[in-house]
A and B are shown apart, each in its own frame.
Chain A
Amino acid sequence: ETGVTQTPRHLVMGMTNKKSLKCEQHLGHNAMYWYKQSAKKPLELMFVYSLEERVENNSVPSRFSPECPNSSHLFLHLHTLQPEDSALYLCASSSSYYQPQHFGDGTRLSIL
C-alpha cells in the first residue's frame, strides 16, 4: 500500500453521535495534517502534527479532537457536531516544507 489512505470515505452521523476519522500514510513522512473543505469555501487547516506533536491548532472547536499515536497514523475524533460541520475532511502528509503534501481521498461527512 502506498500513499495516504482515509477511512471511511463517507460518514453520516447525528449531532449526538461520536465517531472517528482515520488517516494512514505509508510514505515515511513526519508531518500530518487535517483540513476541512466546505462547499464554496477554501481549504481550512485544522491541525498539524510534526513528529507526533501538535504544532498548529487553528482555533478549531473542541468538538474536534485529533490524535496522532505515531508518525503513520492520524485520527480525528468527532463528538456533538453541528450541521455546519458537514464538509469534506482531507488528511495530508509531508516530509518537509519544501516537499509537496500528499493528500488522501477525504471523508465526506454529513451531520443530520
Chain B
Amino acid sequence: AQKVTQAQTEISVVEKEDVTLDCVYETRDTTYYLFWYKQPPSGELVFLIRRNSFDEQNEISGRYSWNFQKSTSSFNFTITASQVVDSAVYFCALSGANTGNQFYFGTGTSLTVIP
C-alpha cells in the first residue's frame, strides 16, 4: 500500500522563524520518488523538489531544505527565516515503480506566516 501522512494540518509562525513540515510515507516499492508541492491561495500546485529512494542526500535551496531519512520513512521540509510569501498549503507526494502513473498525496499542511 502507498500512503503519505502529513500530521500537521495547520501551522502558524511569526515572520523570520524557522518551520519544519513533516511528511511520513509508506510504500512497498524499493524504487520510489517523493515530491513536495506548494499551493498558494491562487490554487495552482507548484513543484518544489523531487527525491528518489536511492538518494538520501539532504538538499538545500536558498531558505528551503529537505531531510530525507529512509530509516524513519520521512521526508521533512524546513523553511528558514520564513516570510509572508511562504504562506500556502504544502503537499508531500509519493510515486513508485509499481504504482503506474499514480501519485499519492498527503492531506497537506497549511502554513501561515504572520508579519
A-B CB contact pairs (8 Å), 20 listed: A45-B102, A48-B100, A50-B100, A55-B100, A55-B101, A56-B100, A88-B43, A90-B45, A94-B101, A97-B100, A97-B103, A98-B33, A99-B50, A100-B35, A100-B47, A103-B45, A104-B44, A105-B43, A106-B43, A106-B44
Q: Mostly helix, strand, loop or mixed at chain A's interface?
A: strand
Write out the residue numbers on chain B whose beta carbons fall within 8 Å of the beta carbon of A102.
47
Tell me, yes or no, whether A42 is within 8 Å of chain B by CB: yes
Chain A interface residue number, banded = 20 to 34
Q: In this assembly, does A96 line the interface, its C-beta being within 8 Å of a C-beta of chain B?
A: yes
With contact pairs A88-B43, A98-B52 given, residues A48 and B101 touching in the complex (Cβ less than 8 Å): yes
Q: Assess whether A73 is interfacial by the CB under 8 Å rule.
A: no
With A90-B43, A104-B44 in contact, is A42–B105 under 8 Å at CB?
Answer: yes
Q: How far is the CA of A103 from the CA of B42 in the complex (A)?
A: 12
Q: Total interface residues on B, using CB and 8 Å?
A: 25
CB-defined contacts of B46 to chain A, threshold 8 Å: 103
Q: How far is the CB of A85 from chain B (nearest CB, A)?
A: 17
Stretch from B17-25, B61-69, B78-86, B91-99 that touches the partner: B91-99
**Is A43 located at the chain interface by the 8 A CB criterion?**
yes
Whether the pair B96, A97 counts as a contact (CB closer than 8 A) is yes
